[in-house]
Each structure stands twice: as structure tokens, then as C-alpha cells.
Amino acid sequence: MPVTIEIPKEKWAGKVREVTLGATPAEGGTRARTLTVGGEGTLPFLHFDGAGVAIPHAPALALEVRDRRPDDWSPLLAEAWGEALADPGDWARAAEAAGADLIVLTLSLTQADGSPNTPANAVAVVKKVLAATGLPLAVFGPGQAEKDNELIVPVAEAAKGERLLIGICEDKNYRTIVAAAMANGHLVSSKTPMDVNLAKQLIILIHDMGMPLDRIVMDPTTGALGYGIEYGYSVMERLRLAALQGDSMTQQPMLVTPGEEAWKAKEAKVGEGVPGAWGDWRRRAVNWETLTGSALLQSGADIVVLRHPESLARLKTQIAGLMQA
């Protein structure tokens, strides 16, 4: 006789909060479309679990664009993007053509001539990128608290109503950036070292300023494949479990940057003077970014920021397969 086996389902008490980036003309912006992430009621890609549509939105894949040609990027990335690297508008257009769901524009400390970056230049670059692509846009400072504030605040004012994702909000400077986001209708990205409690605490502090929780994305920080990814993975996994168990301050969608991390790793960065067993440089480097991103998708990432268009194409195929319930 056939035996019916009932597959047990986890009944989670909570779910990830939905966050929408970008605003169309009807919503007061200029984006051709918006991007909604989050909403999961189960662990990554476990469609059979949870209640209803457990995973309403596929993870989003972003490509990083710089405000000028980077001095420290791999020649392999320069080869992939070609002349587009010379102009952030062209680069953003190429990123959209490559299949990105989101453009992440990173502002530099200095301009191409070596002089300090200025608010006027940052605003001009953001306007150029907004004109070049209809995708939602994230704009992050160079990662130094004072400079981030100096550049991001005027950008927030100039792009009022576009629902940019701006940052980076860290414990040293979140107040200024959050205030600029609230005044101009944007979202913020909170970034903390790899620690569950620190990630949660910064969300609480940002929310206490009056920022709605549906306008906050969490960056828990990660390492690259072979460079601390297992610890970052475990932190993300614990954050996601806490969210599903009902902890409201851990229910933010998570953004991770495997592109930045993987291309810093020796295995991706070095083409010569390494053991022959490491194989072809290009193949190895793209694999390093792809596998880093793939692991982070399994740990609960909602937005994955990449640098190489081939990595994006590979992960897009992978996500399409995993999203088939």
C-alpha cells in the first residue's frame, strides 16, 4: 500500500520587512521602475516552508559604478567594462544593459586629478547617472564619516523624491545621513561589523530618530570566499533566524558586497607569480566573486552588489533556478 508522508513545515512567527527602492514619475521620482526586496517568511529558497507566498521577491543583483575610473580595480574589471569606466553615466547604462536590478554608485575621496571630491561634483555625477538609467539607485560615500556626510547630504537634497538608498550609516555618522534621508524621502543603508547585536542596535538607533523601518536596509558586512565568509555567513543566518522568530529589529532586508570583497582577495587580484595549479586568472577571479555571492544568497542576502557582469549573469541564472518553487 502507498504510504502518505507529511512533510513538516516550520511555522515562523515573523517575516522580513518589505522595502521599496526608487520612485517612478507617478510617485514623484524619475525611475522607470521600482525595486522591492524582502518579504520572506522562511529561510532562503525554502518555498515549501512558511505560509502563503513564503518568498514573494527574488534577491536583487546590483552592479557597482564609481564616480570616476577606479585606480585600484583589477585589470580584468577594466577589460570587462572598457571605455564605460571613463564616464559614470555610460557605466551605469552598461550596467543596466548587463542585467542589473539596481545601480550602486560609490563616491570617491578624490577626483580624477587628485583633488578632494566636492559636493558639487558628487551632485553632478548623481544627476548624470539618474539621467542615464531608469533603474533605482543607491549612492554610498567613500567610507569616511566626515566625507560621507559632506558628500551625501547635498546628494540627498538634489535627488529629493527619488527614493535613493543612501549611506553608509555607521555608528559614527548615522544621524546626519538619516536626517538627510528623512528630509528628502530616501532610504538608508546601515552598516556594522560582523555582529548580530551591533546590527540590531544600529537599526534601533536609526528608527529612534523617526526613520520608518520600511526605509532601512541592513548591511551586516561580509568577507570573501576563504576570507572570513563563514563568520559573516553565520551572522547573517542568525539575523535571519531572529527575524523569522519575530524580532522586529532584525527584520530588515540585507545588502552585501561580494564584489568589493572578492576582488580584494589574492586569488582574484593576482594574475602572475602564483602557483600554476591556481589556473586561469580570469576564470579564477570571476569564480571567486560568483561563489562568494552564491554563498551569501544562501545566508539570506536580499541585495547582492557585484562588480563583474559575468558574475551577475551567472548568479541571475542561479537565482532563476532557485526561485522555481
Give the list of residues 6+ apart from residue 223 with CB closer than 8 angstroms, or none: 194, 229, 231, 232, 261
Average pLDDT of the segment spanning 250-262: 97
Q: Give pLDDT tens digits for 180-216.
A: 999 999 999 999 999 999 999 999 999 999 999 999 9
Specify the CATH architecture of the domain 19-323. Alpha-Beta Barrel (3.20)
Distance of CA 169 to the CA centre of its chain: 13
According to the model, what pLDDT value does residue 51 have?
Answer: 61
Q: What is the 3-state secondary structure of 18-29? A: CEEECCCHHHCC
Q: Going edge to edge, which strands form the sheet with 255-256?
A: 216-219, 187-191, 165-169, 137-140, 102-106, 60-66, 303-306, 255-256
Pairing relation of β-strands 303-306 and 255-256? parallel
Q: Is residue 133 within 8 Å of 97, Cβ to Cβ?
A: no
- pLDDT for residue 102 is more than 80: yes
* Lowest-confidence region among 3-17, 116-130, 299-313: 3-17
Average predicted confidence (pLDDT) for the chain: 95
